[in-house]
Amino acid sequence: GSTIGILGGGQLGRMLAVAAAQLGYRTHVLAPDRESVAAQTATSLTRADYHNRIVLGDFAAACDVVTYEFENVAVGPVEWLAERVPVHPHPRALAVAQDRVAEKRFVEGVGGRPARWAPVADRDDLAAALETVRCPAILKTARFGYDGKGQMRLSSLADADAAWAAIGGPAVLEAFVSFTHEFSILIARGQDGATVRYDAPHNVHRDAILRTSTLPAPAEVEAQAEEATALACRIAAELDYVGVLACEFFVGADGPVFNEMAPRVHNSGHWTIEGAECSQFENHVRAICGLPLGATARTGDRVEMENLIGDDPWSAALADTHAHLHLYGKHSARPGRKMGHVTRVRR
């Protein structure tokens, strides 16, 4: 059998490893910290190890294909790996998606429309950006943000100093979108360019962390899903993308407003494990291994995925014999930490 290398050791890697095992693949996880939950057997590495060419060389030699489950892995080591072993998605997708400035420019280049925004490298830029973007706005760190970390809302110009002190640059200032709904588009693209799409879930966040993904989405989302999917397909084609790509959107007054993309499997796609014929994890494995993609049709009329965050109780999910409970095996339940999720499919 062949071995899939996964960069990143979180729950996404863990669920990828489960899907890979089902298809007969071995997985080798390179995790940048000691809290990896992706594999019981992986050697946990320090961040320094991750930049160590001997460690990376051993990893490349042990794998037939490499993928990533975390977009904040450094691009340099991934490009180095890509010279030695096939890496999917291509490191360019990683480079674009891990920098909000590059990401917004790239997406605008293929016809996508983010909220009004401006790049912010220093404090003077922020002053200039506030004139064009205007308040309310959000200052977001350009790199290394996730789950709403590294962002701050500005209701008026008076918030500029505090926001700059908290976030700093490089960052982007973007207009606050008073959206009615948020949704995501997940597609999978194979090595031959064949692309499949999942139904768009309606995503509800609390404190900038995803709480629920629900299908079918309300009519407002359905009305914009087609245009958003077309954009996701253009992004993928332009990047010669292989694997699952997720794009987040707001329902805008005149069409989908692009928020951000993730060059990987995505939390808003966890419902596909039980709620779609072939899950996002299996389709990602199929894509990177050069296999034909699986069908994405829903298995039920209604599907809801709910995240278990911090010390959210999960006993109710166990008591409901129809609920699919997933626990990620994390040791400590810090506030805001994703500990698991529950999926309910109604047929």
Feature table: binding site for ATP: 100, 140, 145-151, 174-177, 182, 205, 259-260
Distances (CA, A) of 316 to 172, 181, 205, 235, 304: 41, 27, 21, 40, 15
If contact means CB under 5 to 8 A according to the sort of partner, which of ligand ATP, Mg ion, none does residue 147 touch? ligand ATP
Q: How far is the CB of 179 from ligand ATP (least distance, A)?
A: 6
Token output for 325:
């409970």
In this structure, the strands spanning 255-262 and 302-309 are unpaired
DSSP, collapsed to helix, strand or coil, labels residue 217 as coil
> What is the total count of residues that contact ligand ATP (CB under 6 A)?
17
Give the nearest distance from C-beta 322 to ligand ATP in angstroms. 28
For tokens 């996002």, the residue is 280
Residue 292, Cβ density class (10 Å: 0-12 exposed, 13-18 middle, ≥19 buried): exposed
* 58 Rama sector, left if φ>0, alpha if ψ -120 to 50, beta otherwise: alpha
Whether residue 59 contacts residue 31, with contact meaning beta carbons closer than 8 Å, is answered with no
Shortest gap between Cβ of 32 and Mg ion (angstroms)? Answer: 17
Stretch that binds ligand ATP, among 10-18, 59-67, 144-152, 330-338 (CB under 6 A): 144-152
Residue 247 and residue 228 in contact, taking contact as beta carbons nearer than 8 Å:
yes
Q: How far is the CB of 203 from Mg ion (least distance, A)?
A: 9
Binding residues: 100, 140, 145-151, 174-177, 182, 205, 259-260
CB-nearer residue toward Mg ion: 16 or 262: 262
Cα separation, 137 vs 264, in Å, equals 28
208 binds ligand ATP, rule: CB under 6 A = yes
Residue with smaller CB distance to Mg ion, 99 or 282: 99
> Is residue 113 involved in binding ligand ATP (CB under 6 A)?
no
State which of residues 176, 191, 252, 333 lies at the interface with ligand ATP (CB under 6 A). Answer: 176
Residues that bind Mg ion (CB under 5 A): 248, 260
Residues that bind ligand ATP (CB under 6 A): 115, 138, 140, 145-149, 174, 176-177, 182, 205, 208, 248, 259-260
